[in-house]
Chains A and B, each alone.
Chain A
Amino acid sequence: MNDMRPVERIVDTDKPKIAARGCQVYYGENHAIKDVDVDIEDKAVTAFIGPSGCGKSTFLRCLNRMNDTIDVCRVEGDIRIDDEDIYDRKVDPVQLRAKVGMVFQKPNPFPKSIYDNVAYGPRIHGLAKDKAELDEIVERSLRRGAIWDEVKDRLTAPGTGLSGGQQQRLCIARAVATEPEVLLMDEPCSALDPIATEQVENLIDELRQNYSVVIVTHSMQQAARVSQKTAFFHLGNLVEYGETGQIFNNPKDPRTESYITGRIG
């Protein structure tokens, strides 16, 4: 008989977009990430889960060198995107962050118009040769952010005047405006109501057609809903990494089981 199960969740494991090997992070004396090896796939959503302080956000921030901005932070090991060492001295972190976009927990639009919020990145990276092309990029990004219809008549209004959910989608539109290849999201829905959360989750599902999306979330149900792969972090270790259905159905490590079932572990 034909297999009638939906194939949507099956991920092509051909070649990883991001490959980390022996990754260590120290905040001064504190060893925050301990020897993490992970392969993150292209055109898929990978969720990082784990209790507060387990290192999941720290590891996420390694992927676009955001930790460089913290003085006491030291990153060791090898992290490659498309086989290119992102900690190589010839890599410009600003260029890297155009390729690896990021969306934060709290929507943080610039105190500028909606248009300028999205146009900012393409302008500084010189992605548009004239106004018409910039207009096109702004519209395309706002459409990808699933917010175009709501803001197309008021592009000159300040971005900060939008609702929380709209602001977050504006920030996603801003992040995709520079045509990144990887999108990092650090608890993108934790400041949003359930409806706005669903809109953003739906958007994440659409974004994975084009990007490799990595999301840190405290909501295990959100991880289960949006991701194809899930990684469980605990005390700086990557405890278990696997297909999301397997992690939530039949985790192999007892620590994963304790955490996702809500037991004291």
Chain B
Amino acid sequence: MQDPHISAAFDRDLEAIQAMIMKMGGMVEAAIVEAADSLERRDMEMAGRVRLNDKAIDELEEQVNEEVARLLALRSPVASDLRTVLSVMKISGNLERVGDYAKNIAKRTAVLIDLPQVDGATSAIRRMARAVEAMLKDALDAYIQRDADLAEDVRNRDVEVDQMYNALFREFLTHMMEDPRNITSCMHLHFIAKNIERMGDHVTSVSEQVIYLVTGEAPDDERPKGDSTAYEKLEIQ
């Protein structure tokens, strides 16, 4: 750890905003898991809780923004302190978006509960959500431990989430072609899978902030990418 500031109040303020990020991160991790679990177990109550908790995440983000503005105005941070403040601001934005995706999943769950199940879809989605949650956990650990190597590892794992999304995309497409009655469920399930894939991108962005914070330089754009669905063509026999 770094030496303390001569001004103890400065240390206290910096710790406070980072504690807010960790709190937010914990809430978002729970939201990811609960959104996927409530889908698989068809648990309306749990889905409702995810939607409700998102408000608290949004409020926390507001508080982070206010606190960051105050800290910039009063303390004029430089060097690693400045990078800490900038990273807090960006990471809170990423976490807030991940929270929104979880909420969106919970909303779609409410619709899907009344529809016939699509074989194996919800457990595949849950596996994907678990993978993203594990990435987020490691990204936050890397943040608090200032561990650029762990952050780099998280960044490289996003490709796995992308591949899971590709597989689901094709699967849903096949189901919809087989039987038009599957279209409603599969559309919602597809958006859920897409939401989780986007979560992975935001978690990747969090780990990139960690690399910037530790090294002072943003990582280059070269990282494995696996989402190829943008080039996918529908082939009707």
A interface vs B, CB < 8 Å? 220-221, 224, 248-251, 256-258, 260-265
Contacts and interface: CB of A to CB of B under 8 A. Distances in A.
A264 B216 contact: no
Interface residues of B, number: 17
A250 B79 contact: yes
The 6 closest A-B pairs by CB, nearest first: A250-B216, A263-B3, A248-B78, A261-B81, A260-B78, A257-B79
Nearest to B212: A250
Contacts of B2: 263
A197 to B, nearest CB: 15
B76 interface: yes
A260 B79 contact: yes
Nearest to A263: B3
B78 A263 contact: no
B6 A221 contact: no
> Interface of chain A, helix or strand or loop or mixed?
helix
Contacts of B82: 248-249
Contacts of A264: 3-4, 6
Interface string B1-20: 01111110010000000000
Interface of B: 2-7, 10, 76-83, 216-217
Given A249-B82, A249-B216, A250-B217, A263 B6 contact: yes
B18 to A, nearest CB: 15
Nearest to A250: B216
Nearest to B75: A262
Nearest to A252: B216
Contacts of A256: 79
A255 to B, nearest CB: 11
Given A249-B216, A250-B217, A261 B7 contact: no
Contact of B77 (A257, A258, A261, A265): A261
Given A249-B216, A262-B10, A257 B4 contact: no
A42 to B, nearest CB: 27
Given A248-B78, A257-B80, A263 B4 contact: yes
A224 B79 CA distance: 12
Contacts of B78: 220, 224, 248-249, 260-261
Contacts of B77: 261
A259 to B, nearest CB: 10
25 contacts: A220-B78, A221-B76, A248-B79, A249-B78, A249-B79, A249-B82, A249-B216, A250-B216, A251-B79, A257-B79, A257-B80, A258-B3, A260-B79, A261-B5, A261-B77, A261-B79, A261-B80, A262-B5, A262-B6, A262-B10, A263-B3, A263-B5, A264-B3, A264-B4, A265-B3
